[in-house]
Amino acid sequence: MLAADLADDAARDFLMGIALAGGKVHLPLIVAPANNETHVLEIYTPGSVEPLVLFAEPLGAPTVVGFPLRIRPFDPKAKPEARLARAAREAPEAKPASSASSASSASAAAPLRARSIREHKLSKRHTQDLDGVAGVAVPQALIGRELANGKLRLDAVVRSGPTGAVYKAFHRDLRIAVAVKVLHEEAQHDIEFCGRFHAEATAASRLDHPNLVRVLDFGQEQDGLLYLAMEWLDGKTLASVPRPMPLERTIDVMVQVCAGLAHAHGRGIVHRDVKPENIVLVAAKDDDDNDVERVKVCDFGIAMTEADGASPIIMGTPDYMSPEQCRGDRTIDGRSDVYACGVVLYELATGRLPFEAATPVAMCNRHMSAEPPPPRRFAPDIAPELEAVIVKALAKSPADRQPTMRELRGELRALAGAPSSAEPKSDAAARAPKPPIDARSPTASTASTASTASASAATRALFAELTSKPDAWLAKLSQADRRAPLEALASQLAAAMPLLVESRNVKVLFAVRSALDVLAAEKTSGDVWRAEIARSLLQLFAEPSFLGGLAEEALTMETPPRELDELLIGAGSGAAYAMYSTRLKMTAHQATRRRFVSAIRRLGVAALPMIRAGLAKLVERRDHPVAIQMATDLLEAAPRVSDDAAGAVTARYLDGRSSVSLTAAAVSALVGFWGERARSVLLGLLAGDDAARISAIGGLRELRSIDEHVALKVAAAAKTSSSPEVRAAARAALMEATAAARPIAERALGELIVG
C-alpha cells in the first residue's frame, strides 16, 4: 500500500484522469514502494475526508518530482488479492492514448506538490527492484571485491561461462595470484545446490594430484555469493589447440587427464563437466629437468545437477554430456566422465565433435539416441586401436564403456607402448604438501562409517591418547619445526579424525581445531608450509559427515556445550546447511524446532545464505505442514540485519496464503531485513484478516513508524475489526505515535475506548 499527501485538491481530478487513461505520473509518496509489483495507492488532499484510491505500478527509482508510477482505477468490491491480480491482468501493454500522454506532460510541467517533504533513502538493490533489473549479474561489477574476510581480492575477469565467472585474484596470506570462480546468482538461491557445493568443494580441496588443479579455499559470503579459489595456472586450455592433434600428443594429454580423474573418482568425486575448456596445458619440468607439457583438469565439484533428477540448475556442457546426464539420472558415476573423455578423444583425433545439433536439447537427444559416425569417416588414417577405444568410451550404456578411468588410461597407454602401471612424475607434486586425506580412506564420507575396529593399531592408540591427554600431543604438533615430522603428525591426526567424529567428543575436537587455527594463522614467510598443512587439516572440520554429526548433537541436546557451538560457528555457512539438512531428517518435535532456531541464531549472519535459499524453496510449498514449520523456524531464526534479497523472498510469505504463525514470523523478519522499506507491505496487511493486522501493527511499532498516515490506517483497521486483540494492538501502537500524529492518535484512542 502506498500513500501520497498532496497540497492541492485539484490533484484528485487530475490523477483520476490519468488513471482512466492508464497513464504515467511522478508522485511524491509518503511510503516508498516495496518493489515494481502493483500497489494500492491512497491520495490524500486538504479538502477531502476520504482518500482517492487507485492502483499504482512503480516504474523505477524516484526523481526530484517523485516516484514514477503507472496508475489505474481501483475496484473496491473485489478482495485485496483479487484486486491486485485483476490489476496485473489488465495492465496495458502499451499506452498510446493521447490523454495519458498529455496528463504525463502536464504533471512534468507542473509537479504535484506534497504537503510535507518526505526524503526516501533507497538502497542499491531497492532501486534495482523498482527498475526491474535486480539479479542481473555483471562479472566486471565484482572487480575489486574482497572475499573471505579480505583474504582474496578479485582483480580481473579471466572468462565467463555457464556456471560462473573466473577471476584472477590476489591471496593476501599466501602472497600469490590465484584463480577464483564465482558461481552465478541462481546457484545461491537453491539450498540443495548450496549444500552440495559445500560438500563437494570440501572434498575437492583435499585432492592432491599433479594432473588436477589445486583447490585452495571455498566459501559463501553473507550476500550468498559462492566462490572457489584455485591455484593460478599460467597456460592455455586444450580448446585453444588446433585439431586434429597428432596421435602421440593426443595420447599424452588424455593419459594425464585420465590419471587426474582416476584420483578424483577414487575419492568419491565425479567431475561432470569434462571438456577442452576445463583442461589446461602448462609448461613444467620432469624429474630429469626436461621440459614437459603438464595437463591440469579444472572445475571440480561445481557442475552439479539436481538431486531429485529434475532439470539441472547448472548444467554440464551439452556437447560433452553423457546420455545419463542428458536424461537427468539421479545417479551419476565415474563412467559419465569416461563418456566425456570419449567425446574429447573423438574431437582431438578427428577435428570435430561426434554430434552436431542446433540447440542444447537437440544435442542431448543425439547423445541419448544417435550413434556417432565412425571416427575413420573424418580421419581415414586413425589407428584402428584408438578408434576402438573411442567407440567403447562413447557407448550409450555405462556398462558397455571402460568400467573405470584407470581402465581407459591403461588402454591409451597401451597404444603408446608404455607400461600401463606407471604413474606420472612431477617435481612440483613432490614438493607440494600432501593433504591429510591421503592417510585416510579415500571418500569424503569416510568419517561417518569409520569405526575403532577397522582402524589401525597406531590410529586407535592416537585416538586413545587424544581422548585422554590431548594437550601433550597437540603441543608436539604445534612445536614441530621441520616439514617431514609435521606432515607425519598431520597424517596421523587425519587418520584418527573419523574416530573422533564418531565418538562426538566435542571437547577434544574443539582442542584440535583451536591448535590448528593457531598454526593456520602463522605468517612467518620461511615456514609458510606450517600454515598450509594446518589449513589442509582444517578442511576436515568442514566435511559434511563431521558437520552432520555436530548438527545432530545440537538438535538433541537441551544445553549444547560451548565447544559444540564454537565448532559450528567456526564452520560458518557450511554448518548452516548441515543444520538445515539434519533438521529435515528429524521429527519436528517442539523441542527440536526450538533447538534448531536457537542454533541458527547463534550462527548469526553466517546462516543468512542458507535462510535465504531455504525460504525461496519453501515459499511455494506452504500447503505442506513440514514446509510451514520449516519456513516459520527459518524466519524466527533470521538475524536482524539489512538484506534486500532476503526481504524480497520473505515478502512473498505475506500474500495471504500463509498461516497465522508463519505470517507473524515473516512480518518480524521482514522488518529486520527491509527496515523502512517494509512499510508499504505492512500497511497493505492492515486490510487483511485480524491475524495479519495484529502482525502488521507489531511490525509498524517495531519500525517506530506511527506517523499521521499510519495512525489513520491503524485506527481504521481497529474500527472495522471486532477482535479485542486487534483493538489492543492498535491502542498500543497509537500510544507510540509521533508528535505530529498525536492529535489523530488521541482522537482515535478516545473512539476505541468508547467503542
Catalytically annotated residues: 273
CA dihedral 687, 726, 718, 700 (to 10 degrees): -70
Q: How many C-beta neighbours within 10 Å does residue 617 have?
A: 18
Please say whether the beta carbons of 233 and 213 come within 8 A.
yes
**Cα–Cα distance for residue pair 202/73, rounded to 1 Å:** 56
Burial class (CB in 10 A: 0-12, 13-18, 19+), 516: buried
- b/e 94-128 (16+ beta carbons within 10 angstroms → b): eeeeeebeebbeebeeeebebeeebebebeebbeb
CA–CA distance, 680 with 690 (Å, rounded to integer): 18
Where helices occur in 394-482 by DSSP H, the ranges are 405-415, 427-431, 446-449, 457-468, 470-479
Report d(CA 613, CA 188) in Å as an integer.
7
Q: What SS3 string covers 562-593?
A: HHHHHHHHHHCHHHHHHHHHHHHHCCCCHHHH
Rg (C-alpha) for the chain, rounded Å, is 31
Asked whether the bond before 372 is cis by omega within 30 degrees of 0, the reply is no
Q: Would you call 627 exposed, middle or buried from its count of C-beta atoms within 10 A (0-12, 13-18, 19+)?
A: middle
Determine how many CB atoms are found less than 10 A away from the CB of residue 426. Answer: 18
Q: Do 724 and 691 meet the contact criterion of CB atoms below 8 Å apart?
A: no
CA–CA separation, 209 vs 263, rounded Å? 7
Of the candidates 454, 442, 255, 427, the residue with the CA atom closest to the CA atom of residue 348: 255
CA nearest neighbour of 37 among 66, 69, 62, 5:
69
C-alpha cell at position 428:
612440483
Among residues 696, 603, 611, the alpha carbon closest in space to that of 646 is found at: 611
- Which contacts (CB < 8 Å, 24+ apart) does range 397-402 have? 398/322, 398/324, 398/333, 398/335, 398/336, 398/338, 398/339, 401/335, 401/338, 401/339, 401/342, 402/335, 402/338
CB 355 within 8 A of CB 346: no
Side-by-side strand order, sheet with 235-237: 235-237, 279-285, 291-297
Please return the burial class of 506, using the count of CB atoms within 10 Å of its CB with bins 0-12, 13-18 and 19+.
Answer: buried
What is the 3-class SS of 308-349, one letter each residue?
Answer: CCCCCCCCCCHHHCCHHHHHCCCCCCHHHHHHHHHHHHHHHH
Rounded to whole angstroms, the Cα distance separating 193 from 22 reads 43
Residue 268, by phi and psi: left (phi above 0), alpha (psi -120 to 50) or beta?
A: left
Compute the distance between CA of residue 553 and CA of residue 575 in angstroms, rounded to an integer. Answer: 12
Tell me how far apart the alpha carbons of residues 378 and 351 are, in angstroms, rounded to a whole number. Answer: 8
